[in-house]
Amino acid sequence: MSTAFPMHISRRFMKVWHRNLIVYQKTWKINFLPPLLEPLFYLVAFGVGLAALVGNIIYEGFEVSYVFFIAPALIAINIMYNAFFENTYASFVRMYYQRTFDAMMATPLNLPEVITGEIFWGATKSMIATAIMQTIISAFGLIQYPTGLLMVPLAFLGGIAFGSIGMFFTGIVATIEMFNLPIFLFVTPMFLFSGTFFPLENLPIWAQKLATILPLTHLVKLTRAFSFGIIEAGLLWSIGYLLLFCLVFFPLAIYKMERRLIK
Amino acid sequence: MPYIVEAKGLNKTFGDLVAVDGISFHILPGECFGILGPNGAGKTTTIRIIYGFSPMTGGSLKVFGLDASRQWRTIKSRIGVCQQENNLDPDLTVQQNLEVFARYFDIPRKEARQRTKRLLAFIALQHRKDAKVIELSGGMMRRLVLARALINDPELLILDEPTTGLDPQSRHQVWERLEELRSKGLSILLTTHYMDEASRLCDRLVIVDHGQILVEGRPMDLIRQHVGHDVIEVAEPSKELQDFVNAQRMEHEDLGHRLVIYDREGEKMFRTISNEYCNEGCILRMATLEDVFLKLTGRGLRE
């Protein structure tokens, strides 16, 4: 890039965020369904079906029921899914098929603002989904309060982290089908191996170490702590890791999108 | 009078490809200025630089007297752009397309609502304000793109091939709107490869090819200068006619099965030719911008 093209991000990015909110509101009833129903499906399948086989689980010295164990993980997974899918498939459609970003760039907005608005929107979706899921799960008495309320701001942080990496992939994939690759190699392993459905301690030591690289591991650790009501200093490491993840992938996502779109 | 756009030695390269190769021009206030050229000539790249989409590789550009590489945000807030592709927002209704776009320009909600109403009337789409974009016809979409470009009350309207792909009725609709805007004193920058469009709308134009300006001037002046008043076209010209044209040193183009003669002597020459060298398939017509265009950019396909 030759001339001074602006990396400056002003508050105008909220206009892009707001555009997505308007579209979301049009079909809010449908948008509310997955976070409403999904926890029910999981809780019935795992809590009633699988829990009979699993019994109770020892987590950090506490014995907890299996449903209690997985409920916060379901929230963490949804935080990841909402932001990641919003900033991959949905953003790609807006960028590539609908040319929405091109139109926005003929206004006082610049590309970093468009991308920031998109990522903040993805994080907002994570937050909305978390609030809905949390309400449902709380009805079963599976979340402790007031610490459970911390999951909403946490959803935003996690949303920025997973949205940024999603947007990074949007910046580099050639076609929309290629998102299968990061989903298969990155999202699915995280879904399974981040201490979601069984304690990490069940894995061999090397695998446990590997799992600490995965951002979902930290997100699950945090949702679980907030949901169990166990707040300790060690959680700061997990928050720090998610922040670091944002600090790396957020600018990287903008950089890749600029490389892709600014010609 | 300050120029609306002042481009000096504008340059844009993509790797080895030189898309814009030292283009200089200016646009006066209230003028409709055209950039004409075959596909790949650098038209779109040039205007993308002007509306702040593409950074230039070299040269200098001032819009409204402001430095484009530094005051891009102010410039972008004062221009309206109709991009080539229909990039209306399919997730929004007709009315929302305008209102949401207004937000990008910091237009207060109430004002945005009023402008939207006014613009929908201007493009005769009030009755479809709640329709989804995909339900509109091609011509309606184009008019909506035009209305969207006017939402910020721009001082410069940039149109990239505004009527490509439209049926004749829709094209005339768009032209009438543009003429109305021009008559109100709006400065317009237009790219097109329709010569009738350029002749009708542009006060002044440049023809570009391979990233360079070939000629610049008023449409009529360019026709007079490069082609003359009339053109004689002969289908299946005889050998005798070709010899005659050569002997008379008349400007012409030999297309094999067709001979195009740039006639500067008027009807007399046409009589001579039609009486003596051809019985039929010989016509006299007014010279057009298209003759100038083809003469300057050649007839080879650009693909």
What CATH number should be reported for the domain holding residue B218? 3.40.50.300
Same domain, B36 and B57: yes
pTM of the model: 0.91
- Domain residue limits, chain A: 13-261
A84-103 residues touching B, CB cutoff 8 A = 98-100, 102-103
List residues bridging with B208 in a β-sheet: B213
Domain end marker among B168, B201, B223? B223
For residue A158, what is the enclosing H or E element? helix A151-172
Domain interval for residue B95: 5-223
Whether B67 is in a domain gets the answer: yes
Whether B209 is in a domain gets the answer: yes
Whether A22 and B100 lie within 8 Å, measured CB to CB: yes
Same domain, B211 and B193: yes
Among candidates B69, B70, B83 on the partner chain, residue whose Cβ is nearest the Cβ of A103: B83
CB of A15 less than 8 A from some CB of B: yes
pLDDT of residue B234: 87
Same domain, B203 and B244: no
Q: Note the pLDDT tens digit of each residue in A89-104.
A: 999 999 999 999 999 9
Residues of chain B found within 8 Å of residue A121, distances taken between Cβ atoms: none
Residues of chain A found within 8 Å of residue B89, distances taken between Cβ atoms: 19, 98, 100, 103
Same domain, B206 and B250: no
Give yes or no for residue A3 having a pLDDT over 60: no
pLDDT band at A79 (very low <50, low <70, confident <90, very high): very high
pLDDT of residue B269: 82
List residues bridging with B26 in a β-sheet: B6
Whether B73 and A108 lie within 8 Å, measured CB to CB: yes
How close A112 comes to chain B (CA, Å)?
A: 13
Average the pLDDT over A6-20 and give the result.
89
Give yes or no for residue A4 having a pLDDT over 80: no
pLDDT of residue A1: 37
Whether B296 is in a domain gets the answer: no
pLDDT of residue A165: 97
| Average pLDDT taken over every residue of chain B | 91
ipTM of the complex model = 0.88
B131 C-beta neighbours (distance < 10 Å), count? 15
Average the pLDDT over A29-39 and give the result.
87
Distances (CA, A) of A219 to A212, B31, B154, B191: 11, 59, 48, 52
Same domain, B136 and B215: yes
CB of A7 less than 8 A from some CB of B: no
Same domain, B196 and B271: no
For residue B158, what is the enclosing H or E element? strand B156-160
Rounded to whole angstroms, how far apart are CA atoms B95 and B115?
11
- The CATH number of whichever domain residue B261 belongs to comes to 3.30.70
CB B47 within 8 A of CB B61: no
Distances (CA, A) of B249 to B224, B242, B244, B262, B277: 18, 11, 8, 11, 16
Domain end marker among B183, B207, B223? B223
CB of A259 less than 8 A from some CB of B: no
* Strand ranges in chain A using DSSP code E only, listed in sequence order: 56-59, 62-65
Q: Cis check for the bond before A146: say yes or no (omega within 30 of 0).
A: yes
Give yes or no for residue A42 having a pLDDT over 80: yes
pLDDT of residue A6: 54
pLDDT of residue A102: 94
Give yes or no for residue A2 having a pLDDT over 60: no
Domain total in chain B: 2
3-state secondary structure B72-139: HHHHHHHEEEECCCCCCCCCCEHHHHHHHHHHHCCCCHHHHHHHHHHHHHHCCCHHHCCCEHHHCCHH
Domain end marker among B204, B223, B242? B223
CB A249 within 8 A of CB A241: no
| Average pLDDT taken over every residue of chain A | 92
Lowest mean pLDDT among A184-188, A242-246, A251-255, B298-302: B298-302
pLDDT band at A58 (very low <50, low <70, confident <90, very high): confident
Residue B189 exposed, middle or buried by CB count within 10 Å (0-12, 13-18, 19+) = buried
Q: Note the pLDDT tens digit of each residue in B111-129.
A: 999 999 999 999 999 999 9
Among candidates A18, A23, A26 on the partner chain, residue whose Cβ is nearest the Cβ of B103: A18
Which residues in chain B come in under a pLDDT of 70? 1, 279, 301-303
CB of B108 less than 8 A from some CB of A: no
Same domain, B95 and B153: yes
Among candidates A3, A18, A107 on the partner chain, residue whose Cβ is nearest the Cβ of B56: A3
List residues bridging with B67 in a β-sheet: B62
pLDDT of residue A220: 97
